[in-house]
Structure 1
Amino acid sequence: MPQVSRTFQVDPAPEVVVPYLADFGNAEKWDPGTERCVRNDDGPVAVGSSWNNTSKIAGISTELTYTLEQLTDDRIVLVGRNDTATSTETIEVTRSGAGSSITYTNDLEFHGAAKLAAPLGKVVFEKLGNDTEKQLTEVLNGLVR
């Protein structure tokens, strides 16, 4: 199961970062693999909210349904599922000076025949982890300007 994890600093405080990242529709702006992310329900974003996400990674398009499974003042857990994979994105946010320290972890579990892609997936997801850290930092820092 490939896992990538990055810890980095951003300018906005946790009370800005957590609600922004809990709304997974914003992934279109900060996740370099996401091409489209549309909410399936209405109302305030809360545990149980879900999104249809279309991503393209290493030239391969995939669709997952993401559900917000945990939301606290310092932790967001979003789980995306389809027949071939489960992607668990855990985002931990702590105060760091006037801004935030973010630890972003993505655990990817392949199912069935897709398990054969796991070794290659690790290489691809390491690069994607670097790209996500860069883009997420830029987008979040842009929220306070």
Structure 2
Amino acid sequence: MIQVVRTMLISRSLDDTVAYLADFAHTQEWDPATVSCVRLDQGPVRPGSLWRNVSRFRGRTTELSYRLDVQESDRLVFIGENSSAVITDDLRLTPVSEGSTRLVYAAAFRFKGLARLAAPFLRKDIDRLADDVAAALPRVTAR
């Protein structure tokens, strides 16, 4: 398993930040690896809501099904899965001031089957991806 953690300051209130991040379709705006992300169900975003995420990583396109697993006033957990990996995104949020929020973004990549053998070679690329997300997310949410 590979785990990465990044902390960033978001220039939005806690409630606005949670509402924005709860809709995983927004990953198209702040995750440079995401090619597309489409909600698969309807109604309010809630635990159990589903998205199809298409990402490009190391020159290859892959599709994951994501589910909102936990939705709290200060925490969101998404679980993405396909035949070769399970990715857990755990977002913990803390108000810093009236208009800003600290986000601790933790992602765990658990590889399945033969993909487990590649995990040690993916660490640098996953770290780079986490750095790119940490740079893009505060910039995008400041709009």
Shared topology, TM-score over 0.5? yes
CA distance in 2, matches of 1:10, 1:21: 11
The count of residues paired between Structure 1 and Structure 2 equals 142
- Alpha-carbon RMSD across the aligned residues, in angstroms, is 0.7
What TM-score does the superposition give when structure 1 sets the normalisation length? 0.96
> Residue in 1 aligned with 2:105?
104
Tell me, in whole angstroms, the C-alpha distance in 2 between the residues paired with 1:89 and 1:24. Answer: 11
Q: TM-score, normalised by structure 2?
A: 0.97
Aligned to 1:140: 141
Superposed displacement of residue 118, structure 1? 0.6
Identical pairs, percent: 37
Q: CA deviation at 1:60?
A: 1.5
Task: Judge which range, 117-126 or 100-109, deviates more.
Answer: 117-126
* Cα drift, residue 121 of structure 1: 1.6
Distance 2:82 2:55 in 1: 12
Query: What residue number does 2:33 align with?
Result: 33
Structure 2 residue matching 1:48: 3-state secondary structure: coil
> Hey, what's the Cα distance between the residues in 2 that align with 1:46 and 1:55?
23
CA shift, 1:97, in A, is 1.7
Correspondence 1:75 to 2:95: no
Give, as a single letter, the amino acid of the residue that structure 2 aligns with 1:124. D
Residue 34 of structure 1 aligns with an amino acid whose one-letter code is T
Tell me how far 1:62 sits from its aligned partner: 0.6
Residue 124 of structure 2 corresponds to: 123
SS of the counterpart of 1:64? strand
Contiguous gaps of at least 5 residues in structure 1:
none
Provide the C-alpha distance between the structure 1 equivalents of 2:17 and 2:29, rounded to a whole number of angstroms: 14
Following superposition, which runs of at least 4 residues in structure 1 exceed 4 angstroms of deviation? none
